[in-house]
Structure 1
Amino acid sequence: MITQSTNEFSGKRVVVTGGTQGAGYAVFEKLAAAGATLVTAARSARPDTIPEASFVRADLSTAEGANALAHAALERMGGADILVHVLGGSKAPGGGFAASGDDVWQAELDLNLMSAVRLDRLLVPQMIERGKGVIIHTASIQRRLPLYDSTTAYAAAKAALAAYSKALSKEVGPKGVRVNVVSPGWIYTSAAEAMVKRIAESSGGSEEAARQSILDALGGIPIGRPALPEEVADLIAFLVSDRAGSIHGAEYVIDGGTIPTL
C-alpha cells in the first residue's frame, strides 16, 4: 500500500466518476480521508456511504448527466483540481460479436468513452485557465486483451479512451495539466461478479465455470487473484498527488501480471 499523509489532499477539489461503488468508491474514500473535497455521481439513489454534499444523481453516459455533474463541481467547489474517471463497465450479452447490436455498441461507447470526453470538455478548460490540474482516465487491459465472448464493445471503447487520453496529454501538458491512464485487469467488484453471472446464464453453465472461462481467456493471473479496489485506489492516489508531478502521458497497468508481454 502506498502511504500518504492524512492531509495530503487538503484544499484539493476532486471529481470522481463511478465513485459510489467498486474501485471508484475506493478512490473517493481514500482521497476524502486525505483531506480532499469531492463530488461524484450515480444513476441510482445516493448511498449512505456518500455525503449528500458530495453527490449528484445523474447518468454520466448522457450529455445531460455530464452537464449536471460539471455544474455541481463548479457551483459547490468552484471547479476541479483533480478529475478521476473510474466509471465504466459492460452489460453486453454473451455470445460473441453477433450478439451485440447497434444499441449495445452505442451504450458501451457512451459509458466507457464519451462519459470521460464530455466531462473533460466541461471541466478541463478551468484547469487550463489556472495552469494546473490532473486527469486520470481508467481504461482496461482489455484494450489489449479483449474477451470476445461478451466484452468486445467494452474493449474497443477502452482502447479509444486510451488513444484519446494520449492525445489530450499532448495538448494540455504544456498548459500545466497532467493526464495519465490506469489500466486495471480483473478487479474483484460487484460489477465483475455481475459479468460472471451473465456469462453463466448465456452459456447455461455454472458461475464457477464462467469465472474460470474469464481466467482462461485472460491466460491466467500470475499472482493468483484479481486486484482489490483499494489497490487500484492506492495507485490512482499516487498519480494524482504532487509526488507524481513529472508523470504525464503514461499508462499504468495493474493486473497481477496478466498481460504476458512487455
Structure 2
Amino acid sequence: MEEPSKDTFVTKELDGKRVLVTGGTKGGMGEAIVNRLTHAGATVITTARNTPDELTDSDLFIQADISTPDGTTKIVENILERFDGVDILINNVGGSSTPTGGVLKQTDAGWQQTFETNLFAAVRLDRGLLPPMLKQGYGVIIHVTSIQRRFPGENTMAYSAAKAALANYSKALATELAPKGIRVNSVAPGFTETKAAGRLIERIAQERGYDYSDARQALMDSLGGIPIGRTARPEEVAELIAFLVSDRASYIVGAEHTIDGGIVRTI
C-alpha cells in the first residue's frame, strides 16, 4: 500500500477536530482562519454579531454578540448541545471604537466595552468550553492579541491595555492547563490588510488626498515602518494559527507568537 504524501498529512491533519473561531466573517483574519482549518479537515463553527449575507452553512454559524455575557452564554450552550464541545478554540474577535482626542475623551463605558470585547469575551468562552476539554484530556486554545499591546498610543490605549491583559491571562492559563493536556498560546499580528483595514486606508486616502498605496504607506510609516516592506495578508496569520493548533506544535505552550513583518524590534 502506498503511503500518503507529506502534503496529504498536512492538508487533512485536523480531520475530525471540532473548532470554534470567533468573528469568522467579513473578510478578516477570522474568515481566513476558518477557510484554512476547514481545508485541513476540521469542522469549523464560527460566530458574528450579525448573520452574513453570503453565509454558506447555517449549521456551522452562531449569531451572537460575543462582547456580552448573554452572547457568550448563547455560544457555549449551542456548542455543548450540538457538538458536545470543541477540540480547538480560537478567540479571534477584537477591535476598538475608542474616540480620538486623548484620555479625556474616553469614558468608563468605552473602556468597559473595549475590555468586554478584547478580554472578557475570551475569558468567558474559555471557561464555558473548558470542561469537555478537561474531560477528554485534550484541547488547544489560541488567543489573538496584537503588537499594539507593546505600542500603546493616544487613541489606542484602552485597546492596547485590553490586549496586554489578554496576553497576561493567556500565559497564566497556559501554565495551569498544560499538565491537563490542554495547550494555550497566543498570536500577535501586526498591520494585517483585512477588509476593515482596507476601508481605513481608503478613508485616510480620501481625507489626505492620497492614492491608496500612499495612504497605506503612511499607515506603515506611523508604525515606524515595516522592515519586510508590506502589510500582512490574513492568510499568513491563518497559516501560523493552523500550525499552532496542529500536533506539529505539540510542545509549544504559553508562548506569544508575533507575526508583524519585523515591526517589533525589541528582544
**Where in structure 2 are the equivalents of 1:63-142 lying within 5 Å?**
63-142=69-148
CA contact (8 A) 1:26 1:229 kept: yes
Tell me the percent identity. 53
Displacement of 1:48? 2.0
**Secondary structure of the residue that 2:119 maps to in structure 1?**
helix
CA contact (8 A) 1:93 1:198 kept: no
CA distance in 1, matches of 2:186, 2:241: 9
The verdict on how the C-alpha distance between 1:195 and 1:90 changes in structure 2, with shifts beyond 3 A counting, is farther
Displacement of 1:55? 0.5
Identify the match of residue 229 of structure 2 among 224, 228, 233.
224
Q: Moved runs in structure 1, 4+ residues, more than 3 A?
A: 193-201, 204-214
Displacement of 1:210? 6.3
CA distance in 2, matches of 1:109, 1:193: 25
CA distance in 2, matches of 1:206, 1:155: 29
What's the TM-score once normalised by structure 2's chain length?
Answer: 0.89
What's the TM-score once normalised by structure 1's chain length?
Answer: 0.91
CA contact (8 A) 1:20 1:50 kept: no
The verdict on how the C-alpha distance between 1:200 and 1:114 changes in structure 2, with shifts beyond 3 A counting, is farther
CA distance in 2, matches of 1:67, 1:228: 32
**Where in structure 2 are the equivalents of 1:97-246 lying within 5 Å?**
97-146=103-152, 148-196=153-201, 205-206=208-209, 211-212=216-217, 214-246=219-251
CA deviation digits over 1:100-129, x for unaligned, max 9?
A: 211211111111111100100100122111
CA RMSD of aligned residues (A): 2.0
Q: Which blocks of at least 5 consecutive residues in structure 1 are unaligned?
A: none
CA contact (8 A) 2:84 2:132 kept: no
CA distance in 2, matches of 1:179, 1:226: 27
The verdict on how the C-alpha distance between 1:139 and 1:95 changes in structure 2, with shifts beyond 3 A counting, is same
Displacement of 1:261? 1.5
Query: 1:48 — aligned with what?
Result: 54
The verdict on how the C-alpha distance between 1:72 and 1:206 changes in structure 2, with shifts beyond 3 A counting, is farther
CA deviation digits over 1:136-193, x for unaligned, max 9?
A: 00000011112x2421111110000000000101111111100001000011012223
Query: 1:23 — aligned with what?
Result: 29
CA distance in 2, matches of 1:200, 1:259: 26
Displacement of 1:9? 1.0
Amino acid at match of 2:228: I
CA deviation digits over 1:60-111, x for unaligned, max 9?
A: 0001111111122112211100000111111112222222211211111111
Query: 1:9 — aligned with what?
Result: 14
Q: For the pair shown, which has the larger CA radius of gyration, 1 or 2?
A: 2
